[in-house]
Chain A
């Protein structure tokens, strides 16, 4: 369970990233955060694994306040909170297997990982994760030989290999075309259901949010302006969240193609 209690964050340059955020995310939920760029979606998500540190309030992950964590505890937290990025963030010159095994780093001793001495079950887990996102045949290809969608699937496999309790995805489909976007979102959804991993995704496409989310949180200017199950959401809600009418480019489209 993740609990935001009165969380605020002011960046050193004075920008307010988060303002009085009070949100509770239950285990196994698939939450989509929507909002315009600059609304604080990334800040929200990055607070949960402390890539950014809120300056106010308290943030509880599994009933422990993570805001006071220092390096050792922080690494433990990050081991159980996996993250997927917009630009995949793979090591382009390393092969797929090595990238996926990097997901085990938090669980592996330093010396073991430097010498590439992974346990058999870790390598097995990595391979299994690649199979789950249907890319196991590329295991020895270099990451830069893959297409964007394939790279994002590898980064999902990396997170799976980490065996996290939570997955954070920061605009995972913003650099992909519509069919590939749906593919990636479907994998995330499938993993969420099969492994019961709490998943929090940032999106700015309304139709995708509606299609995959259990629950939608709307943000504007660092504040949570909407929070509710997807059944309560309609176009009107989005217009309120965005503070303007809905336009063509707020939609990803392509749902039928995939």
Chain B
């Protein structure tokens, strides 16, 4: 049999080894400390969980069909909130995306400002934005639309700027070399390269926003969330079952359609 010469093991200094051990010890200590700090009467907790499950779960599986009309309207509103919100975001994100793309502005300062704006917008969870807008414009669907729009703008702008940064700049150079001005370059070299990805991300974001908008009603921003919170407060688990079923169906359908469309356009 042939004998192999194994490559030498990477050299590890004593310091590195000690560091690795130290990290493991500290992590273990944190976990132990955390679990010791939990003061739970396990027997009672398990008992209650079992009890609640027995009461709630069967009801969830026998939906209250009499609420179908209300739930349908509500879920339609949810879809429309998501659609209006992501459409607004898809448009608002375009200028921000360009601003945050290094190869478009050609200026480090502008790009940094763009990236900062997008990060700042992204920092808010949708639900916090919804609370803000409910306070600002009242507890209705419009608050939900605005919350979705702003929340999605941050993420879409970031994705757009990455798409723009990944285009083939040689095409831009070719257009420059035949005397095209900046706006012509934008329309002839940049936009054809980015449109399919932009659309694809916008549709994907719509998919995400459907889920987001079904939760926004909890803080009063319209859509199915409002029904969820009422059903939960009234312990109306049969209605809750129908709501969950409706959400599952709608989200699945939208996911399916969105995947189809996105595969077509790229």
Contact = CB atoms under 8 A, between A and B. Distances in A.
Interface of A: 49, 51, 75-83, 85, 87, 89-94, 98, 102-103, 105-108, 110, 113-114, 155, 158-159, 162
B178 A51 contact: no
B137 interface: no
A79 B183 CA distance: 16
Interface residues of B, number: 21
B192 A105 contact: no
A49 B176 CA distance: 10
3 closest A-B pairs by beta carbon, nearest first, are: A106-B179, A79-B179, A105-B180
B3 interface: no
B178 A83 contact: yes
A113 B192 contact: no
Interface stretch (B38-46, B72-80, B141-149, B167-175): B167-175
B196 A105 contact: no
Contacts of B176: 51, 78
A107 B189 CA distance: 17
Nearest to B169: A89
27 contacts: A51-B173, A78-B177, A82-B177, A82-B178, A85-B170, A90-B171, A90-B174, A91-B188, A91-B189, A91-B192, A91-B193, A92-B168, A93-B193, A94-B192, A98-B192, A102-B175, A102-B180, A103-B178, A105-B175, A105-B178, A105-B181, A106-B178, A110-B181, A110-B183, A113-B188, A158-B178, A162-B179
Contact of B180 (A77, A106, A155): A106
A108 B175 CA distance: 13
Nearest to A80: B179
B166 interface: no
Given A79-B179, A105-B180, A114-B183, A89 B174 contact: yes
A194 B189 CA distance: 30
A51 B177 CA distance: 7
Pick the most buried of A81, A102, A159: most chain B CB atoms within 10 A of its CB.
Answer: A102
A87 B170 contact: yes
Contacts, number: 81
A79 B187 contact: no
Interface in B25-55: none
Contacts of B173: 51, 85, 89
B107 interface: no
B184 interface: yes
Given A93-B196, A110-B181, A114-B184, 5 more contacts: A85-B174, A89-B173, A91-B171, A102-B175, A105-B178
A28 to B, nearest CB: 21
A83 B195 CA distance: 27
Contacts of A94: 188, 192
A93 B192 contact: yes
A83 B193 CA distance: 21
B170 A89 contact: yes
